[in-house]
Amino acid sequence: MGQTPGMTATTTDEPLGMGTAWDEACLAHLLGDDARARFEADGFLVVPGALDPDRVARLLAIARRSDEAYRREPGVGPHHVLNQHDLVGRDAEYLDLVDLPTTFPTVWGVLGWHIQLFHTQLIVTPPSPPEAMHGGYGWHQDNNRMNRDLDQAPQPRVSVKVGYYLTDLPEAGMGNLCVVPGSHRAGRPAIPMGEQPAGATEVTAAAGDAIVFDRRIWHSASTNHSDRTRVFLTVGYSHRWLRPKSEMDLGELRNGLPPIRRQLLGATTSANAWFDPTEDDVPLKTWIAQHVGAEAVAP
């Protein structure tokens, strides 16, 4: 079957990923049995030091420029939260996050090889007004309508997100991500505004840490009662048959990229390949089989 125009198929003489150093780094960060057990029990996993300080500084500079532009928009005040979607294509630094060796192996360790990038988001949370309520607000599970259409408990996982902390959050009350550990096995949350679900916790982290979380876990934003602006960036992955949440109008960006990146950014040989992929559609499967073992890609 022919290729879709603009898509480049995998060839046997090119690295599937980003080269030998990338291969070795991914193998050094495979999802171990203990970490997998924690993820399955809690619905999330914190990865310390996922970003090195130089990368944090570069991403933070990009985020600040975006936030400065947002603050100049009519009607935007000092307490408004920047919520910017569809980051890939805006800057090469964002592209480098889609297969970051410190977190990507956990993603495919949880979801498997039949995956894609489906959502990216930058959130900049300035200090809240003094009268703002404390704690989490807007408790939800990701993917919105999916939770009603798949009205069962537990629902299928379908997607996970990696959240990168670009600023230090050493304590609660700083605009932290709030989660309820283990809630991914429950149904949809029904929590009145101003109330917190039992077991809710505000995740603390250092700049450069990451959190990998199941889309089904109950989670929320929270108010920032500190004097620091909180910057948080998420990269979401799903099975390839799920429609992307971000526009991801990438044009020619896919061309010339390594095969695994092309897979993650939506390259495909046919419409049916979202459901019945060829080897050219899923080079990640080949990479895992070659470097980890055929048992790791078993159906």
Q: Which domains does the chain have, with CATH numbers?
A: 32-293 (2.60.120.620)
CB 226 within 8 A of CB 141: no
pLDDT at 13: 58
SS3 content of the chain, % helix, strand, coil (to 5): 30, 20, 55
Q: Which comes out higher in pLDDT, residue 294 or 188? A: 294
SS3 136: strand
**Mean pLDDT computed over 172-192:** 91
User: Distance between CA 280 and CA 55 in Å, rounded?
Assistant: 31
pLDDT at 194: 77
**Mean pLDDT computed over 164-184:** 96
Neighbour-count burial of 130, counting CB atoms closer than 10 A to its CB (0-12 exposed, 13-18 middle, 19+ buried): exposed
Q: Percent of the chain at pLDDT above 70?
A: 96
The pLDDT confidence band at residue 270, using thresholds 50, 70 and 90, is very high
The yes-or-no verdict on residue 91 having pLDDT over 60 is: yes
The three-point CA angle 130-209-161 to 5° equals 90
For 119-278, where are the alpha helices, taking DSSP H only?
Answer: 145-149, 259-264
The pLDDT confidence band at residue 233, using thresholds 50, 70 and 90, is very high
